[in-house]
């Protein structure tokens, strides 16, 4: 006879089933779909236009470098950041605005299970949008070049794709935990989100010790292709050695777990205030 699943696990699974489709298909999140679809459309258009030229003006290496720049500058610092803000910050704040959160609080449901279920639902929604977007963009950007197939299947292309997917998932894990806490703890989560955005973007110019107190520092070190900053920014950048993989990945997961745990404790002690 199989052992019965613990109650807290069943509660997390129940919240997850209720939330993930609602989160992924939310009408308020239409702009997040555009963030995920935009790079795919641009890379497809690039491949179609360039394939019509007899002599393309750039090489395969240019496409590799262009995607690396797009991933670090647009995906990490733009699309994934703001997408996670829209998804995770609204998991609690959105229900407070709609005055529906009390339906959860009136049920015999542990607050910790509610937080965990909502976080996992948001994480699945974010990864379902941005992982396919990153993969499709990389596969399409060099589709105009016959050597692109060799680069993917016989060269380092698939390995680099795997790293980009891993970084995308870790970005959703890290930023998701940050914005889940912001959505529950702050009346207006946009204010702490703006502070986090500024901190993440000035990160390369901070002292080495302060650079470690950010998500982007660990994610950037895991990217397979380095993106150098153009002058004069490269003069004021503080270069640090990338964090080893065996530290960066568990470290990001541990920080995310701590943030979700803190959010769960805050949810257990918090009260609903629709009039705030």
Q: Which of 78-92, 159-173, 259-273 has the lowest mean pLDDT?
A: 259-273
Per-residue pLDDT tens for 218-259? 898 899 998 876 666 555 666 677 788 888 899 999 999 999
Cα separation, 199 vs 203, in Å, equals: 6
Alpha helices in 154-204 (DSSP H): 157-185, 190-201
| pLDDT given for residue 261 in this prediction | 95
Please tell me which residue, 68 or 49, carries the higher pLDDT value: 68
Instruction: Report percent pLDDT > 90 for the chain.
Output: 50
Give the residue extent of every domain in the chain: 12-269
Measured CA distances, 271 to 5, 102, 108, 191, 267 (Å): 29, 10, 16, 21, 8
What H or E segment, with its residue span, contains residue 108?
none
| pLDDT given for residue 1 in this prediction | 38
Q: What are phi and psi of 213, to 5 degrees?
A: -95, 60
- Range with top average pLDDT, 22-26, 178-182, 198-202: 178-182
Per-residue pLDDT, averaged over 113-123, amounts to: 95
Instruction: Report percent pLDDT > 70 for the chain.
Output: 90
Helices 245-269 + 215-222 axis angle, to 10: 150
Cβ neighbors of 64 (< 8 A, separation 6 or more) are 142, 151, 160, 225
């Amino acid at each position: 006879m199989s052992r019965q699943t613990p109650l807290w696990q069943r509660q997390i699974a129940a919240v997850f089933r209720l939330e993930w489709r609602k989160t992924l298909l939310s009408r308020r999140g239409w702009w997040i779909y555009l963030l995920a679809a935009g790079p795919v459309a641009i890379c497809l258009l690039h491949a179609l236009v360039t394939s019509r030229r007899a002599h393309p003006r750039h090489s395969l290496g240019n496409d590799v470098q262009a995607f690396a720049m797009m991933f670090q500058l647009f995906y990490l610092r733009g699309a994934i950041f703001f997408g996670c803000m829209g998804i995770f910050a609204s998991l609690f704040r959105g229900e407070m605005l709609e005055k529906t959160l009390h339906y959860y609080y009136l049920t015999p449901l542990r607050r910790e299970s509610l937080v965990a279920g909502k976080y996992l639902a948001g994480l699945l929604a974010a990864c379902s949008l941005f992982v396919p977007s990153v993969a499709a963009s990389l596969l399409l950007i060099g589709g105009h070049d016959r050597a692109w197939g060799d680069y993917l299947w016989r060269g380092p292309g698939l390995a680099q794709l795997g790293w980009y997917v891993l970084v995308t998932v870790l970005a959703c894990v890290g930023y998701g935990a940050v914005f889940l806490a912001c959505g529950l703890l702050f009346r207006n989560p946009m204010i702490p989100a703006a502070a986090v955005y500024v901190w993440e973007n000035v990160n390369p110019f901070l002292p080495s010790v302060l650079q470690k107190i950010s998500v982007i520092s660990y994610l950037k070190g895991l990217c397979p292709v380095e993106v150098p900053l153009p002058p004069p920014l490269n003069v004021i950048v503080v270069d640090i050695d990338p964090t080893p993989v065996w530290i960066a990945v568990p470290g990001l997961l541990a920080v995310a777990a701590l943030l979700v745990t803190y959010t769960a404790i805050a949810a257990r002690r918090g009260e609903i205030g629709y009039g705030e």
